[in-house]
Structures are given as structure tokens and as C-alpha cells.
């Protein structure tokens, strides 16, 4: 591969056995209950689900979380107990103790297998107790890890109002982000503000990210004269954005394909298919794509991207020329790989639980293009990877960095392979120009650690030959 050849090569796709480690999609309650402040998440499942949540969430469980298990017992499984009555009892208890604005039922493997009709029960119970009940089937039979958020947001997409409420007082309540950006300013000022924006059809962004990142990305678009009219999800359930037919929507995370198709098919929105705003290259491409849809000439993005790269050069030089292997567990892999290739890394393989080639089309193109521009071979993308095969391959390839789940991190480290836990990328702030340093901070941490410990000569810490 020479630098002269900058024609994107076709990406190679493969599919393995699906014997890989990932988090159960119910884990999405951990970040969604924090994001949606007036929600309560009820996971209807077994002890197995509860055990996973309580261990995976670590200290968060002690902070009186707004989530709980509806733990199914033998009587529920054999239908000796009435599902409706049981759920009513628990939901009334939740209403009494927490009074949330919405209860989200998370269906699990068990409710699927025993065919508990959650979608059928919810509207009846909703009417009876007077709290909206949103049903999301985030189970391990169908989904992996971050796809849990996708199922919840797809369900929420149905609940977004289709027109702004008429009452002036209610108007105040909605449009959380606009209100935030206009913080404390008088109405006239706000009206004057409007001229900062180009006249374009409403744009709603979807994907749950921490509030500071919401502000950052909104400000970023504001610089181009684009107004974000709402986010799915908003800070509160009562602030879900208005979504009308013909509105534009754009995703900020690669795992939101169900939400995207719900918005397109059910809410008749137009999807802006863009690469995801992860890394300065992704952020720029994301903004450019949105601008192009609205016929706006983007201003100053090239300089901005260059400046960011310049400011993180100290980190980038640590990974330039090194190789990385992504085992795959959270669907951020394509975007991460694209960003790392731009940083000068070579990617051996991209494992990914599920590959929606349509929703991720722009991101895949950018990956192929980036590989061509950087003069590195396009990596193979392996859907439903097989961890056993991957580990054998890793031992042969000896990559400089393996991005993997926690089940394999310590054993690989003990065999002299440097690892980074993939889960951290899910919880860290990785979107937009301003968080570039944060991603690189994570990526380079193991390498910096190695630098600190170098010369001790303790890289191989297992006795026998790697017994995979």
C-alpha cells in the first residue's frame, strides 16, 4: 500500500460464531436513569439480571438509584400469579415512593420466553395509575450492550409530542436545550438571538450523552448557524422534543439504528446519515454533513480540526505507527477505529456485535477513506466475533494495544499484551472537538503506564504457555 494510492479500498466484512463477551443490554438503565432525571427504570427479569446490574454498576447501586428489579419468581413463570396485578402492585409502590414522570419497563430474556405481553399491559396500567409507561425490550436474546439504549430511545421516540403545546406556560417547560442556551435572557433578546441562526427545518438530535456534551455539540452547530430544536432524550421525560413530520434527525452514536428507523418510518423524519462526532475528524465530518443537508457553507471547520490535532499532538505521537485490535462489544468500534487510523494507528481487526451497514454507511465510508488517506490497509470488520478465535489471533499478531472487555483484559495483560477496557469509552465523554483529549487520554493510558514501568522486565506474568 503506497501513499499515492488514496482510492478507498472496499472494506471486508465477515461474520463469526457470536461467542463473545459483552454486557447485557439492560445495563443501559445505569446511564439512562441518570440522564433522564424524572424517570424510573423497572427491569422485569430474574436474579441473574439483578446480579449483573448490581455488580456491573459498582458503587452506583448504593446511591439509591432510580431503578429496580421486578424479580420474577416461580409463580410468575408458571403463570400462577397474574402479571397485570403483580406489575400494578410494584408500579404503585414506585409511584408512592418516588413519584416519577415515567416508568420504563425493561423487558428481559425471561419476559420474552414466557411471552409476557408488556406492550399490551402497559397502556392499561398507564391509564389506571396515571404515569406513562414506556416498554423497551432490551434483552440478551436480541441485543448487545449499548443496543439497550437504542431500544429505550426507539420506544421513547413514539412518545415525543408532534406539535408544540399551545399553552404559553407549557412552552416554557419544553425545549430544554434552547432554554439552556438562552439561559436567563429576556424574550426580546432571545428573538434577536434567532438571527444568529440560519433559517432551516427543525433538527432533532438523538442519543444519550452527558449534559455538558449536549451543550458543546449544540454550541458547535450554533457556530454554523444551525439550531438544535431538541434532543432525544432530554434531561427530563417531560421535556421530550417535539418531532413533526418532515423534521430532520441525526444520530450521535453508532448503535442507534432502531431509533433511527423508528424516527424515519413512524415519525416520518428525514435522517441525516453522517459519520459520528467522535474524534475531531468525525466531528468535522458530522457537522459538514448536517451543513450540506441544510445548504450551509461550513465556516472555519478545517482550521478548527487542525488546531485540535495540534493540541493533542503529545498524545497522538504515543500511538502513531502502533497497531490496535478491537475485540468488539459496544458498537462504537467503527468510529473508534476510524479515529485511531487518523491518529496514525494500524487496525488489525474490528470486532463488532452488530453491523448496520445502512445506518453506519457514512461512517464506514469515512473509515475506508481514512485508511486510504493514511496509507494503511483497510481492516477486516468481524460481526458477531468469536473471542476464542480472536485471542488466538491476538497472540499471533501481538498488537500494541487491544481494546477489549474486562473479562479478557487481565489475562491478556498477564501475557504481555497491552489492553484498554472498551467499557470506558461508553461512559467517558468522547463526542465533539473538545473531548478529543479525553479519548486519547483513555487510549494512551496503558501505553503511558507501560512507559512508566518499562525496564522492570515483568511483562510476562503467567508461567505456562498462553493457555487460551
Q: Give least dist CB 312 to another protein, A.
A: 9
Does 79 bind another protein (CB under 8 A)? Our answer is no
Using CB under 8 A, pick the residue from 29, 36, 70, 102 that binds another protein: 70
Residues 193-222 that bind another protein (CB under 8 A): 210-212, 215-216, 219
91 is in an annotated binding site: no
Region 388-447 residues binding another protein, contact defined as CB under 8 A: 388, 391, 405-411, 414, 433-434, 436-437
Name the residue nearer to another protein (CB basis): 311 or 365.
311
Which residue in 106, 189, 267, 467 sits closest to 258, CA to CA?
267
- What is the closest distance, in whole angstroms, from the C-beta atom of residue 381 to another protein in the complex? 19
Q: Is the Cβ of residue 110 or residue 229 nearer to another protein in the bound state? A: 110
Smallest gap, in angstroms, from Cβ of residue 266 to another protein?
23
Residues of span 25-44 touching another protein by CB under 8 A:
25, 44
Q: Find the part of the chain contacting another protein (CB under 8 A) among 48-56, 262-270, 294-302, 341-349.
A: 48-56
- In the list 290, 308, 401, 403, the residue contacting another protein (rule: CB under 8 A) is 308
Q: How far is the CB of 2 from another protein (least distance, A)?
A: 35
Q: What does the per-residue mask of binding to another protein show for 140-179, with x meaning CB under 8 A?
A: xxxxxx----------------------------------
| Interface with another protein in residues 105-124 (CB under 8 A) | 109-110, 112-114
109 annotated to bind ligand: yes
Does 76 engage in binding with another protein (CB under 8 A)?
A: yes
Q: Is residue 80 within the footprint of another protein (CB under 8 A)?
A: no
Could you tell me the smallest distance in angstroms from the CB atom of residue 102 to another protein? Answer: 17
CB of 4 to another protein, least distance (A): 34
**Closest separation between CB of residue 195 and another protein, Å?**
18
Nearer to another protein, 156 or 440 (CB): 440
Q: Tell me which stretch binds another protein (CB under 8 A): 23-31, 161-169, 285-293, 445-453.
A: 23-31
Q: Which residues are part of a known binding site for [4Fe-4S] cluster?
A: 24, 49, 109
Amino acid at each position: 500500500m503506497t501513499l499515492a494510492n488514496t482510492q478507498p479500498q472496499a472494506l471486508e466484512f465477515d461474520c463469526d460464531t457470536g461467542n463473545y463477551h459483552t454486557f447485557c443490554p439492560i445495563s443501559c438503565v445505569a446511564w439512562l436513569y441518570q440522564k433522564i432525571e424524572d424517570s424510573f427504570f423497572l427491569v422485569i427479569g430474574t436474579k441473574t439480571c439483578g446480579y449483573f446490574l448490581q455488580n456491573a454498576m459498582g458503587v452506583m447501586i448504593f446511591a439509591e438509584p432510580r431503578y429496580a428489579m421486578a424479580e420474577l419468581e416461580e409463580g410468575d413463570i408458571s403463570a400462577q400469579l397474574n402479571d397485570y396485578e403483580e406489575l400494578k402492585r410494584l408500579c404503585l409502590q414506585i409511584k408512592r415512593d418516588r413519584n416519577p414522570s415515567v416508568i420504563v419497563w425493561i423487558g428481559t430474556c425471561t419476559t420474552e420466553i414466557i411471552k409476557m405481553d408488556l406492550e399490551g399491559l402497559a397502556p392499561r396500567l398507564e391509564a389506571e395509575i396515571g404515569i406513562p409507561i414506556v416498554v423497551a425490550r432490551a434483552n440478551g436474546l436480541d441485543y448487545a450492550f449499548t443496543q439497550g439504549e437504542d431500544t429505550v430511545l426507539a420506544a421513547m421516540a413514539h412518545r415525543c409530542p408532534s406539535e408544540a403545546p399551545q399553552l404559553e406556560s407549557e412552552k416554557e417547560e419544553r425545549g430544554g436545550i434552547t432554554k439552556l442556551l438562552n439561559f436567563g435572557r429576556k424574550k426580546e433578546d432571545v428573538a434577536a438571538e434567532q438571527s444568529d441562526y440560519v433559517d432551516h427545518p427543525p433538527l432533532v438530535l438523538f442519543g444519550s450523552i452527558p449534559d455538558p456534551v449536549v451543550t458543546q455539540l449544540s454550541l458547535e452547530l450554533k457556530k454554523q448557524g444551525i439550531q438544535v430544536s431538541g434532543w432525544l432524550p432530554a434531561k427530563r421525560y417531560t421535556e421530550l422534543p417535539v418531532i413533526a413530520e418532515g423534521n430532520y434527525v441525526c444520530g450521535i452514536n453508532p448503535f442507534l439504528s432502531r431509533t433511527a428507523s423508528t424516527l424515519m418510518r413512524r415519525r416520518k423524519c428525514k435522517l441525516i446519515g453522517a459519520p459520528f462526532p467522535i474524534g475531531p475528524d468525525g466531528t468535522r465530518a458530522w457537522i459538514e454533513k448536517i451543513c450540506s443537508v441544510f445548504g450551509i457553507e461550513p465556516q472555519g471547520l478545517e482550521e478548527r480540526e487542525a488546531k485540535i490535532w495540534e493540541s493533542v499532538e503529545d498524545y497522538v505521537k504515543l500511538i502513531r505507527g502502533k497497531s490496535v485490535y478491537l475485540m468488539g462489544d459496544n458498537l462504537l468500534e467503527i468510529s473508534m477505529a476510524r479515529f485511531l487510523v487518523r491518529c496514525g494507528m494500524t487496525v488489525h481487526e474490528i470486532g463488532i456485535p452488530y453491523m448496520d451497514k445502512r445506518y453506519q454507511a457514512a461512517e464506514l465510508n469515512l473509515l475506508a477513506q481514512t485508511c486510504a488517506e493514511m496509507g494503511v490497509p483497510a481492516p477486516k470488520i468481524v460481526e458477531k466475533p468469536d473471542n476464542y478465535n480472536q485471542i488466538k489471533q491476538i497472540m499471533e499478531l501481538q498488537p500494541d494495544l487491544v481494546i477489549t472487555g474486562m473479562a479478557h483484559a487481565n489475562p491478556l495483560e498477564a501475557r504481555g499484551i497491552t489492553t484498554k477496557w472498551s467499557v470506558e469509552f461508553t461512559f467517558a465523554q468522547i463526542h465533539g472537538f473538545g473531548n478529543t483529549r479525553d479519548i486519547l487520554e483513555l487510549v494512551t493510558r496503558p501505553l503511558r503506564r507501560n512507559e512508566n514501568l518499562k525496564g522492570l522486565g515483568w511483562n510476562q506474568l503467567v508461567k505456562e504457555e498462553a493457555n487460551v
